[in-house]
Amino acid sequence: MEGSIKKVNGHYQIALPWRDDNLNLPQNRLMAEKRLHGVQRKLLTDSDLCEKYCGKIGEYIASGFASPVPQNALVTPGKTFCVPHFSTPVLTNFRMVFGCSAKFDGVSLNDKLLHCPDLVTDLLGVLMRFRQETIAVVADINACFHQVFVEEEDRGAFRFLWFDKNDPRQPPVDYRMNVHIFGAAHHRRLSLHSHCAELLLTTTLTQVPRLCRRCSRIYTWVTCACPVLVCQGP
């Protein structure tokens, strides 16, 4: 995985950390279609949800985080997977989640990805380390997990179905995520991320010399979404 890190059009791009080089993902498009029909029923009866859901997909497409599958992109047996998606009720911002743990024929996408180590920093430790140096800066990276793109040959595993012209009344067409995604991995440490996303972001942070040059340490508050940089000062 580390050998695949490169910068493309201002974004870092990293391959997916597969468990096995001989990948054999099942053809699950039918399952994804059934899940999408369930989402469609909700959208057609809830105008507020429909506006938020379509707005989020439109935002992904406009940002280049998602795109229609090119016509010349063939279905590669064993390396193509259709990830179902859904929304979760939250108190503030609308959140769309990709079901990386959804199984088809007993196999999910997360089953094929390496699990990262526990990268969630203990809160007490962060608070204590705040006192070690002169300056502490807390920052937030906008859409942080979506700033890391997926290697082109792995994007077939991040396909998903959505409606033509971003209209739930239209038939579904194939899209794909070009970035590392949020997923419903039911793991106590990675409840909203695909198993590899946090590891990938941490790896990317270490590749940014301007960010790390004057920082003696990089800690995380809860996840890598909010890095805490502990600096030695000027």
Please check whether residue 149 lies inside any domain of the structure. yes
CA-atom Rg of the chain in angstroms: 19
How far apart, in Å, are the Cα atoms of 227 and each of 46, 104, 129? 37, 36, 13
Please check whether residue 221 lies inside any domain of the structure. no
CA 5 centroid distance within chain: 17
Q: Among 4-8, 36-40, 219-223, which range has the highest average pLDDT?
A: 36-40
Q: Is the pLDDT of residue 195 over 50?
A: no
pLDDT for position 10? 77
| H-state helical runs in 64-172 | 109-112, 123-129
Amino acid at 80: T
pLDDT for position 11? 78
Q: Among 37-46, 83-92, 133-142, 211-220, which range has the highest average pLDDT?
A: 37-46
Q: How many structural domains are present in the chain?
A: 1
Between CA 134 and CA 69 the distance in angstroms is 50
Amino acid at 11: H
Q: Is the pLDDT of residue 184 over 50?
A: no
Q: Cα–Cα–Cα angle for 48, 50, 142, nearest 5°? A: 90
Q: Which residues contact 113 (CB under 8 A, 6 or more apart)?
A: 16, 17, 18, 19, 100, 194, 195, 196
Please check whether residue 109 lies inside any domain of the structure. yes
CATH of the domain at 195: 3.10.10.10
Between CA 166 and CA 50 the distance in angstroms is 10
Please check whether residue 140 lies inside any domain of the structure. no
The one-character DSSP state at 215 is E
Please check whether residue 186 lies inside any domain of the structure. yes
Please check whether residue 215 lies inside any domain of the structure. no
Please check whether residue 83 lies inside any domain of the structure. yes
The pLDDT mean for the chain works out to 76
Q: How far apart are the first and last CA of the chain?
A: 35
**Domain of residue 170, residue span:** 2-116+145-209
Between CA 43 and CA 37 the distance in angstroms is 10
Helix (H, G, I), strand (E, B) or coil at 95: strand
User: Is the Cβ–Cβ distance between 58 and 67 less than 8 Å?
Assistant: no
pLDDT for position 216? 45
Sign of CA dihedral 89, 92, 94, 100: negative
Please check whether residue 132 lies inside any domain of the structure. no
Beta bridge mates, 149: 13, 179
**Backbone angles phi and psi of 198, in degrees to 5:** -70, -40
